[in-house]
Amino acid sequence: MKKYKFLLQAVSIFAFALLLFQNTITAQSRVDRILIGEATRITNDEFPNFTTTPKGARVYSVNRANSKTLDAIDKGLKDLFAVAAKHDYSQKTDYADYTIFIAKPDRLKDINNQYSPDIAVGAAQYAGSIYDKGGYIYAAGMVVAFKPCAFVIGEHTKNLERVSEVVRYEGEHLILYHNDPKLYNKTKDHSKGGGHPILQ
């Protein structure tokens, strides 16, 4: 009888744990679908490839991201967290807090003919400025969501130091949003001047 009770308890615990796990997966899947939908809306790309960086950041990409790109993302986040620590910012300073989308670039070179895999996004507040290219601007990256932290960058095939820079710079907006709303509000819009790095 005792064996039967023990077995029944074990099965009940296992079933409960499985239910919790399934609920967590369902919630994560729902959040992921929302993030992917927003990244797709911004870039008009699909993101069929998923992986994580060695440090635990989540990456969705148009093409499978190679190990050097994943390392470059981790370096950018490491630099971001280091400068955040200098300012005593503690929120959203874990690799697992971040989801990065790697989109197909809409251009490979900038106006100076330098390698610059950027994405085209709606001009919005930049309309009529020198950045306006006919209703859109070229951006190295763009925030997709603040909760959870997500942004999109263009796919690079070389100059991966630039990937680290873009990750660090897009991450600044997210760090500031969660740690210093006043500075975030002053720096979220580059249309009135200012740029990266925001945090020194």
Separation of alpha carbons 173 and 70, rounded Å:
21
Separation of alpha carbons 25 and 42, rounded Å:
26
**Where in the chain does DSSP place strands (E)?**
49-52, 58-61, 98-103, 107-109, 115-122, 136-139, 141-145, 149-154
Contact 119, 105 (CB under 8 A): yes
Residue 31 tokens read as 């959040």
144: how many CB neighbours lie within 10 A of its CB? Answer: 25
Rounded to a whole number, what is the largest CA-CA distance in the chain?
Answer: 81
Of 95-104, 160-169, 183-192, minimum mean pLDDT range = 183-192
**123: in domain:** yes
Number of domains in the chain: 1
Domain that includes residue 33, residue range: 2-192
pLDDT tier at 95 (50, 70, 90 boundaries)?
very high
Mean pLDDT of 152-169: 97
Whether residue 147 has pLDDT greater than 70: yes
- Tens of pLDDT along 57-90? 999 999 999 999 999 999 999 999 999 999 999 9
Mean pLDDT of 123-132: 64
**200: in domain:** no
Mean pLDDT of 132-136: 68
**197: in domain:** no
pLDDT tier at 164 (50, 70, 90 boundaries)?
very high
Mean pLDDT of 29-55: 94
pLDDT tier at 128 (50, 70, 90 boundaries)?
low
Pairing of strands 98-103, 58-61: parallel
Share above pLDDT 90 across residues of the chain, in percent, rounded to a whole number: 66
**198: in domain:** no
Of 46-60, 91-105, 109-123, 186-200, minimum mean pLDDT range = 186-200
Mean pLDDT of 32-48: 94
Whether residue 10 has pLDDT greater than 70: no
* Per-residue model confidence (pLDDT) at position 80: 98
**151: in domain:** yes
